[in-house]
Structure 1
């Protein structure tokens, strides 16, 4: 439990709910590489492109660099860096890390613990995912860093103090009458809805409550795009579509680009719409770039 507690308390820059998943992403990547080669190090110049891709895909909307976590993760006691000159990081400058051959690796004591306890790696990965990313991204993030998890992936860890609300899905889907708030999809098999999910606007990992005014009933596609920052909700309960999204197919135009400026479908009268505080958090910390202008009907 000592290592899980340490992972749960990673020191990260934070202000007003700001997302700073630099260290969690580096650790997830390192755990994936550990599974392939428990003794191999990560030379910064070799893995920089991979780490930058992870930050671009799963990090905050603003531009950032993997040099920051590569150096600063040392202070959390789970990471070490060596250069061609010996132990110690040359700092967080990209040029220094490249030119001095900086190579990072999980701390020796942590590597030893991972060898002793076969299920520790899965628990650490699950903890990092739960604390820093929404469930809709967990599967693709595991694939992106090359992590293969088994039973530990589905176990609730006691170090995660806050429990997810069990009725969130039922309340949100009922409020939106079992229709995607973005496209109106309402598929069922018999009486059972399929492909519909309760999405948190402000992520649960960042104190988003399990309440209707922090939720949207969305189809699986639009849930994923909401969590990736392609879609959002504006002040007037209209759909935002990022200008950074590019899609030339008819499907991309119809299912994404054409949503720009549309009013949300629902919630039904008597149910609370998405609260401004949650819309604003998503717009600031998840949504990428500026919204597209409203699409003509």
Structure 2
């Protein structure tokens, strides 16, 4: 059995390119718990709050419940649920899962494979991360689910997936003249830029192309906030700041809240600005809540 193919083929609710990382988040959480204690099941009432936090922080902008993946992941052959009544999930209702003592765990075949192949857990985790989340979030997401991964080795299953264009970073940074499109930061050590990254507006994992009109040159801070849905880009190429963001320090006000309504820095004349289709995808699938009014309005 090819577990990587099975993981890559997880059935997910989808409409118009919508993000639905509910099952991947549950699986990453289960892998982290397996690493900690391979024999322990995950009782829904004990892990519900953890899963809810993961969905709130790394899931789509609209509200959802961890009961959905806890029940529906059983259809993919990698997850099983038992209740006080016996094997089988009682359904996707929160009340049903709570009142029946529902407990989930990886299937026996998958647990056996993870014990038999020491590197399989890391390969599955990296596949889930790569297919469903941008690289800027991989490290903190591993920490959030308690996964301890070895440094990534060359993936043997890469042939089945799109390959990234290695020129993307240089093209995007050049288009924006090596300045953060949000704050103008342009730090270097000698001639080498530091803390500047090429951000995909529409995530690569969701069909976003490695092209300048899907990229922004961002400093590390604003790249992370952009991928977390705190920041966005409006139809007029001005910066959006989510009303859900809260920060009272001078640094938070200066580096985030004060950006609301500012025009992007760049790109230089002749370079393609962010395409409307990619801005729209980010606004629907990543940006959280409503944008703040422009500073001073």
Query: What is the TM-score of this pair, normalised by structure 1?
Result: 0.98
Aligned residue number for residue 285 of structure 2: 285
**Structure 2: segments with no counterpart, 5+ residues:** none
1:242-261 equivalences under 5 Å are: 242-261=242-261
Q: Deviations over 1:185-242 (max 9, x none)?
A: 0000000000000000000000000000000000000000000000000000000000
Say what the alpha-carbon RMSD is for the aligned residues: 1.0
1:49-88 equivalences under 5 Å are: 49-88=49-88
- CA distance change for structure 1 residues 236 and 191 in 2, over 3 Å: closer, same or farther? same
Query: Displacement, 1:23?
Result: 0.1
Q: Tell me whether 1:193 sits opposite 2:203 in the alignment.
A: no
Query: Displacement, 1:172?
Result: 0.2
Aligned residue number for residue 148 of structure 2: 148
Aligned residue number for residue 267 of structure 1: 267
Query: Displacement, 1:155?
Result: 2.7
Q: Deviations over 1:157-199 (max 9, x none)?
A: 4255111110000000000000000000000000000000000
SS of 1:223's equivalent?
Answer: helix
Whole-angstrom CA distance in 2 between matches of 1:67 and 1:154: 34
Whole-angstrom CA distance in 1 between matches of 2:55 and 2:199: 22
Asked if structure 2 preserves the Cα contact closer than 8 Å seen for 1:127 and 1:157, the reply is no
SS of 1:262's equivalent?
Answer: coil
1:1-297 equivalences under 5 Å are: 2-151=2-151, 153-159=152-158, 160-296=160-296
Whole-angstrom CA distance in 2 between matches of 1:278 and 1:217: 15
- CA distance change for structure 1 residues 262 and 205 in 2, over 3 Å: closer, same or farther? same
| Count of matched residue pairs | 296
SS of 1:292's equivalent?
Answer: coil
Query: Displacement, 1:154?
Result: 4.2
Whole-angstrom CA distance in 2 between matches of 1:100 and 1:126: 33
Asked if structure 2 preserves the Cα contact closer than 8 Å seen for 1:200 and 1:208, the reply is yes
SS of 2:47's equivalent?
Answer: helix
Whole-angstrom CA distance in 1 between matches of 2:279 and 2:214: 8
Whole-angstrom CA distance in 2 between matches of 1:157 and 1:254: 45
Q: Deviations over 1:120-146 (max 9, x none)?
A: 000000000000000000000000000
SS of 1:240's equivalent?
Answer: strand
Asked if structure 2 preserves the Cα contact closer than 8 Å seen for 1:213 and 1:275, the reply is yes
**Structure 1: segments with no counterpart, 5+ residues:** none
Query: What is the TM-score of this pair, normalised by structure 2?
Result: 0.98
